[in-house]
Amino acid sequence: MKSQTNNVDVLKWIDDVILMTKPANVIWIDGSDEQLTALREEACRTGEIRLLNQDKYPGCYYHRTKPNDVARMENRTLICSEKEIDAGPTNIWMKPSEAYKLGKKIFENSMMDRTMYIIPYSMGPVGSPFAKIGFEITDSIYVVLNMSIMTRVGQKILNVLGDSKDFVKGVHSKCNLDENNRYIFHFPEDNTIWSCNSAYGGNVLLGKKCFALRIASYQGLKENWMAEHMLILGIENPKGEVKYVTAAFPSACGKTNLAMLIPPEGYRSKGYKVWTVGDDIAWLRIREDGRLWAINPEAGFFGVAPGTNKKSNPNALTSTYKDTIFTNVAINLDDETVWWERLDNNPPENGLDWKGNPWNGKKSKEKGAHPNSRFTAPAKNCPSISPEWESPEGVPISAIIFGGRRAKTAPLVYQSRNWQHGVFVGSTMASETTAAATGKVGVVRRDPMAMLPFCGYHMGDYFGHWLEIGKKTPNPPKIFHVNWFRTNDKGGFIWPGYSENFRVIDWIIKRCENEVEAVESPIGFLPKAEDINLEGLDLTADKLNELLDIDKESWAKNIEGIEEFYSSFGERLPKELKQELEVLKNNFI
């Protein structure tokens, strides 16, 4: 092994991992095309990945995981802070000494017949004052190739790091893929992540949720910035002015679709455009101008394949056409292309399903792709990618948008009264389950700021951090809540969704620019119906009023749910949020 750095802290840590895992070989990832090409060829020879049709999918490959290793393991995802109270009630805690002991036992000799790959990577543009550097040590070429898409990797990262001690230490090994010994340990106080016995992206691409949210959220707490589970979107008006928003939604609420939104024809013809800065994660800092600025720390998209098609998200689909890795989708053996449910109406007859079994999509009742099958695509492939997406200074944020799936409770859109009230709105975010997800309809699941599975410390302290950021930001973004999923008496959606959501974003931007007034309500500021542009939309004014209606009975139940949820945080729930809850209750008396 030839060392690529003289950083003594890096080298000492790597020596310790080598001693623990005992690899047969050690390779530093330098980020060169030559090295990555050689690794792709090697992985194709061993069957770890499969080359797809290079005429139709240039630079694209296929990977399949074991049936017991297809999603994030939240029940095995641990926060290992010294004090249990610091992990909080929403995380699974383990004492660091016990976690290290258990991890070392699992990792011991795990790479004896394998090559160890050392990946230096940057979350955020290389050299950006927003960026953070990490290392992932792994025995998986699949991980190397995905990390080279999702992050910036190689020697240039080591050059920026120099002798600094500020880096995140990540160790991953497939071990023997034993699900009973599958763990993802997070040590926020040590800037360390250990992942063992998984080969699925969400558990093993340590730069993503592990670093960019769980570890980074704790870093942000200590360093006065924010790591959030948010898309970043730019809206350009006909004058060429661009305003940026972030948005946090729980799963199945249209986050990726909004990130890559195409405006309705009526807006496009006037010159409106939407620019994608990021689809999943935002890091936000207070800049000298008193505003919050955001970067997308990632360099790629790790998207869910099923349901992605030319209608639902043409920009995401186009992003996958080159240099992409597909995981657990179906393969068409006739031409070595990929397919998944709702891609189109022409599934392959001569195919393999995600488990590798022969599959006829025209006749089989089994799904061809796993519901959580994925594509890992370079962000630069996206037709709507923003010219500013790699700006080292980030982009200034005008609005923060929260959202959820509520059949009756939340109106189409409303604005918080101020930052403190906005934090309350985000902290009480919720979605109702659908039959397809759980077998039960309408069960309310709280997911504050869409961070419930991803906050690396006590969520009560996290709410407090939000409140502090607001106090320290002279010109904070305005905060809104949206709900695309209001239903009529027959259970059908009233709002058409998809590209039409731009109409709501347009109103949000106008509110940020003080171009339209709003109506005060018990929950915040509602639009005047005439200020939501319905031109070219088959939606009556009566239907719009129905979308903006405040149902008192639903809100009474919602308040009960908030009180129950808040009770879990005990004394660490900020008093300001208790005050906001009392205001809400009094507004409905």
Q: What are phi and psi of 460, to 5 degrees?
A: -60, -40
Residue for token digits 């509110």?
511
Residue 119 and residue 135 in contact, taking contact as beta carbons nearer than 8 Å: yes
Tell me the mean pLDDT in the region 272-290: 98
Mean pLDDT of the residues in the chain: 96
The 3-state DSSP class for residue 293 equals strand
What confidence score (pLDDT) does residue 436 get?
46
Residue 35, Cβ density class (10 Å: 0-12 exposed, 13-18 middle, ≥19 buried): middle
What confidence score (pLDDT) does residue 443 get?
87
Residue pLDDT, tens place only, 298-352: 999 999 999 999 999 999 999 999 999 999 999 999 999 999 999 999 999 999 9
269 is in an annotated binding site: no
Cα–Cα distance for residue pair 494/377, rounded to 1 Å: 33
Q: What are phi and psi of 454, to 5 degrees?
A: -125, 0
Contacts of 98 by beta carbon, 8 Å cutoff, 6+ apart = none
Residue pLDDT, tens place only, 368-423: 999 999 999 999 999 999 999 999 999 999 999 999 999 999 999 999 999 999 99
CB < 8 Å & 24+ apart, contacts of 499-503: 499/261, 499/262, 499/263, 499/264, 500/264, 500/537, 501/254, 501/258, 501/261, 502/261, 502/263, 502/264, 502/267, 502/272, 502/274, 503/264, 503/532, 503/533, 503/534, 503/537
500 is in an annotated binding site: yes
H/E stretch holding 153 = strand 152-153
Share above pLDDT 90 across residues of the chain, in percent, rounded to a whole number = 94
Residue 479 and residue 415 in contact, taking contact as beta carbons nearer than 8 Å: yes
Give me the catalytic one of 60, 253, 382, 455.
253
Nearest-5° angle of CA 529, CA 279, CA 125? Answer: 130
Q: Tokens for 195? A: 């992942």
Active site residue 382: no
Q: What is the dihedral of CA 429, 435, 437, 440, to 10 degrees?
A: 70
357 is in an annotated binding site: no
Cα–Cα distance for residue pair 212/216, rounded to 1 Å: 5
Residue pLDDT, tens place only, 413-456: 999 999 999 999 999 999 997 644 445 667 899 999 999 999 99
Q: Residue 251's pLDDT band (boundaries 50, 70, 90)? A: confident
C-alpha dist (Å) from residue 155 to 30, 40, 104, 163: 5, 19, 29, 14
Closest CA to 371 of 446, 324, 308: 308
The DSSP string of 413-428 is: EEE-SSHHHHHHHHHT
200 is in an annotated binding site: yes
What confidence score (pLDDT) does residue 253 get?
85
Q: Tokens for 565? A: 């949820």
What confidence score (pLDDT) does residue 241 get?
98
Q: Tokens for 481? A: 């809540």
Residue pLDDT, tens place only, 42-68: 999 999 999 999 999 999 999 999 999
What confidence score (pLDDT) does residue 438 get?
42
Q: Residue 3's pLDDT band (boundaries 50, 70, 90)? A: low
Cα–Cα distance for residue pair 500/484, rounded to 1 Å: 10
Comparison of pLDDT for 249 and 443, the residue scoring more: 249
What confidence score (pLDDT) does residue 589 get?
77
Q: Residue 254's pLDDT band (boundaries 50, 70, 90)? A: confident
Q: Tokens for 426? A: 């985000």
Does the CA dihedral 6-8-13-18 come out positive or negative? positive
Q: What are phi and psi of 409, to 5 degrees?
A: -75, -65
128 is in an annotated binding site: no
pLDDT at 466 over 80: yes
Contacts of 71 by beta carbon, 8 Å cutoff, 6+ apart = 200, 202, 372
Contacts of 420 by beta carbon, 8 Å cutoff, 6+ apart = 467, 470, 576, 580
**Predicted TM-score of the model (pTM):** 0.97
Cα–Cα distance for residue pair 27/2, rounded to 1 Å: 8
pLDDT at 26 over 80: yes
Residue 249 and residue 237 in contact, taking contact as beta carbons nearer than 8 Å: no
72 is in an annotated binding site: yes
pLDDT at 75 over 70: yes
Amino acid at 229: H
| Domains and their CATH numbers in the chain | 8-30+73-223 (3.40.449.10), 228-296+389-587 (3.90.228.20), 301-374 (2.170.8.10)
Tell me the mean pLDDT in the region 198-204: 94
